[in-house]
Chain A
Amino acid sequence: ELKVEQNPLFLSMQEGKNYTIYCNYSTTSDRLYWYRQDPGKSLESLFVLLSNGAVKQEGRLMASLDTKARLSTLHITAAVHDLSATYFCAVLPSGTYKYIFGTGTRLKVLA
């Protein structure tokens, strides 16, 4: 069974601190996606990682992909309150058009 696991599930952190969200997946895939979801809202695309070693950064967020370890990380640098949301990673298994989503990480940044 294809699985995408994220940890932690919940993360409460102080503003200005750094932290990393981990995404492990069990299927063979070179394509990993990160999305953000605010309460009651839809999913917003953050990063698309398409190859081993891919690293992308946007503001205080940086995502990386290690396809050999089947691991992606989303690193938060100097968190601010506006980053509070739920973050999902998703894998697009080779030969399919369906995302397998992780469980999500609910991030709360405390002022």
Chain B
Amino acid sequence: KAGVTQTPRYLIKTRGQQVTLSCSPISGHRSVSWYQQTPGQGLQFLFEYFSETQRNKGNFPGRFSGRQFSNSRSEMNVSTLELGDSALYLCASSLVFQGPNYGYTFGSGTRLTVV
């Protein structure tokens, strides 16, 4: 059974550019969440989607946005990149109603470096 797939694995961007990260959840999983991991701030929640609707949003500026498609695949976009956006971005998926009982399954992440 395929896991959560994130692409690309690594990315280097310049300040001011924008970036789009992709996440394909486990087949049948309809809830997709995004997290940012940095050495200084740890793991922080960005947003969660179900059926193309954002149900929860973390405390990030509007430069961070996301969406989910009808096949449950999700993308997140960061515009006007700043050096502080350098991080590991993790995507996680779960079965909607079983999520709390099983937790979320995480992808391998996208390592974004902003120079």
Contact residues of A with B, CB < 8 Å? Answer: 31, 33, 35, 41-45, 48, 50, 88, 90, 92, 96-104
**A107 nearest CB across to chain B (Å):** 16
| Range class of the B interface residue count | 20 to 34
Query: Does chain A have a CB within 8 A of B48?
Result: yes
Q: Are A96 and B56 CB-contacts (below 8 A) given A42-B107, A42-B108, A50-B101?
A: yes
Q: A100-B45, A102-B42 are in contact. List 18 more A-B contacts (CB 8 A).
A: A33-B103, A45-B102, A45-B103, A48-B102, A48-B103, A50-B100, A50-B101, A96-B56, A97-B48, A97-B50, A97-B55, A98-B33, A98-B56, A99-B35, A99-B43, A99-B104, A101-B35, A101-B43
Q: What B residues does A96 contact at CB under 8 A?
A: 56
Instruction: Name the B residues within 8 Å of A35 (CB-CB).
Output: 106
CA distance in complex: A41, B9 (Å): 11
B99 within 8 A of A: yes
Partner of A98, one of B48, B102, B105: B48
List of 10 A-B pairs having minimum Cβ-Cβ separation, nearest first: A101-B43, A98-B45, A43-B106, A97-B48, A42-B106, A98-B56, A42-B108, A33-B103, A48-B103, A45-B103
- Which of chain A's residues have a CB closer than 8 A to the CB of B50? 97
Chain B residues whose C-beta falls within 8 Å of the C-beta of A90 in the assembled complex: 43
A-B contact pairs, 27 of them (CB 8 A): A35-B106, A41-B108, A42-B90, A42-B106, A42-B108, A43-B90, A44-B106, A45-B102, A45-B103, A45-B105, A48-B102, A48-B103, A50-B100, A50-B101, A88-B43, A97-B33, A97-B55, A97-B56, A97-B99, A98-B33, A98-B48, A98-B56, A99-B43, A101-B35, A101-B42, A101-B43, A103-B42
